[in-house]
Amino acid sequence: MIAYTDKVRQIARRLLEESRVEMVIGFRKGSQPMMNEPCFIRKAEDADKLVWDGNCGINLANYLTGRNEKIAVFAKGCDSRNIVTHIIENKVQRDKLVIVGVPCTGMIDKRLVASRTEGEIESVGENADKVVVKLSDGGSLEYDRREVLQGNCALCVHRNPVIYDELVADLVEEQTDVDRWADVREIEEMDTEQRRRFFEDLLAPCIRCYACRNACPLCYCPTCFVDESKPQWLGKGQDQIDIQTFHFLRAFHCAGRCTDCGACQRACPVGINMRLLTKKLEKDCFEMYRWEAGMTLDQRPALDTYKPDDPQGFIK
C-alpha cells in the first residue's frame, strides 16, 4: 500500500493542473507516527505533501459536505460507500466530485501497535506485509500487517471502492472467509442484565468529547441532538445514563447508513469500541432487509422504503 503515494501525488497534480478540480482531499503525514491527517490541496505544486499508507484510517467522506467547489477525493472502500450514502442523501452532487478509488488492504490500529510495543515509537513504516516500528532508542520491531489491522479492517468485505472515476492501483482481492459479526453474536447471547452491565462497562470511560460524532461522515446534522437545549434530550454531564443515551442515539442515527469504517473508534481518545452498537444495527439491516449501506446509487436505503413483506414480528 505504501507504493500508492507516488501514484496519489501524480493523480492529484494532474487533476489540479488540468483544472478538473479546485481542490484535492487526501492525507499528509501527521506530526506523530501513525497519525496521518486530512489534507486539502489547492495548488498542483503542493501535491507532493500527499502520502498514502496504512495510517489513513480517517474517513474522507466526512469533508465533502457543505462545499461548493469541485473536489477530488481519495476514497478507500468504506469512504466510497459513505460517498454513495452522501449522494443518496443529497449532501453532495456526483458531478461535483472526482472520486479516486484506493483499493485498500486495511488500516493499522495505532493503539494495538502502541500497546504491543515497549518504548517510545519514533516512526512506523511498512513494506508489503510487515509493519516496521522504529524506536527512539534505535531498536526496531516488525509486526505481521494482518495482526495489527483495525478491528473493522480485519473483518472488511468491501475493500475496493464501489464508485470511482479512476483508480490508484488494481483492485485487491476481497476477503471472503471472515466472520463479520462474531462479537455482536456474543453480546446477543447474553441475557438482558448481562447486556446492560456490558454496555455500562463499555461506555463508562467515555468523556463526552464527541470525537466519534465529529469523525463520523454520517453525523452532518447542523445541530446535533446532544447540543439541543429546547428540548434538552440529555444532560451535558458525566452521568452514566446521559452517556449511554448519547451512544445509543448516535448509533440509532447511523442505522442502515453505517459502513463500519471505524472512524468513530479510531477517533476515540479513550478507546471505546462503540462499533459494537452500530454493528448490531448493520447486522440487523443485513439479516432483515439484505441491505448494506452505500453499495449502489440505484437503490433506496432499507429504512426509507416499505415492502409488504418487511419483518414485523415485533408489532402486536
Partner 1 sequence: MTDWEPKIVSFLCNWCSYGAADLAGVSRMEYPPNIRVVRIPCTGRMSPKFALAALREGADAVWVSG
Partner 2 sequence: MEYMGVEPDRLHFSWISSAESTKFVEVVSEITEKVKALGPNTHYVKKEAKVA
Q: What is the DSSP letter of 174?
A: P
- To the nearest whole angstrom, how small is the minimum distance from the Cβ of residue 283 to partner 2? 10
- The smaller minimum CB distance to partner 2, of residues 126 and 282, is found at 282
Radius of gyration of the chain (CA): 20
- To the nearest whole angstrom, how small is the minimum distance from the Cβ of residue 137 to partner 1? 50
- The C-alpha cell that represents 49 in the structure block: 505533501
Contacted entry of partner 1, partner 2, none for residue 233, CB cut-off 5 to 8 Å set by kind:
partner 1
Question: Which residues make up the interface to partner 1 (CB under 8 A)?
Answer: 225, 231, 233-234, 241, 245, 248-249, 252
- The smaller minimum CB distance to partner 2, of residues 140 and 194, is found at 194
Contacted entry of partner 2, partner 1, none for residue 20, CB cut-off 5 to 8 Å set by kind:
none
- The smaller minimum CB distance to partner 1, of residues 40 and 252, is found at 252
Query: Scanning the structure block, which residue is given the C-alpha cell 429546547?
Result: 230
Report the C-alpha gap between 298 and 166 in whole angstroms: 20
- The smaller minimum CB distance to partner 1, of residues 157 and 204, is found at 204
- The smaller minimum CB distance to partner 1, of residues 127 and 240, is found at 240
Contacted entry of partner 2, partner 1, none for residue 249, CB cut-off 5 to 8 Å set by kind:
partner 1
- Report the greatest alpha carbon distance in the chain: 67
SS3 71: strand
- The C-alpha cell that represents 283 in the structure block: 447486522
- Cα four-point dihedral sign 24, 29, 30, 33: positive
Contacted entry of partner 1, partner 2, none for residue 187, CB cut-off 5 to 8 Å set by kind:
partner 2
- To the nearest whole angstrom, how small is the minimum distance from the Cβ of residue 312 to partner 2? 8
Contacted entry of partner 1, partner 2, none for residue 193, CB cut-off 5 to 8 Å set by kind:
partner 2
Pair type for strands 71-75 and 97-101: parallel
Report the C-alpha gap between 236 and 254 in whole angstroms: 21
Question: Which residues make up the interface to partner 2 (CB under 8 A)?
Answer: 187-188, 192-200, 232, 235, 237, 239, 241-242, 244, 248, 277, 280, 314-316
- To the nearest whole angstrom, how small is the minimum distance from the Cβ of residue 316 to partner 2? 4
- The smaller minimum CB distance to partner 2, of residues 138 and 237, is found at 237
SS3 113: helix
Contacted entry of partner 1, partner 2, none for residue 225, CB cut-off 5 to 8 Å set by kind:
partner 1
- Cα four-point dihedral sign 18, 24, 28, 30: positive
- Which backbone phi and psi does 194 adopt, to 5 degrees? -60, -40
Report the C-alpha gap between 152 and 64 in whole angstroms: 23
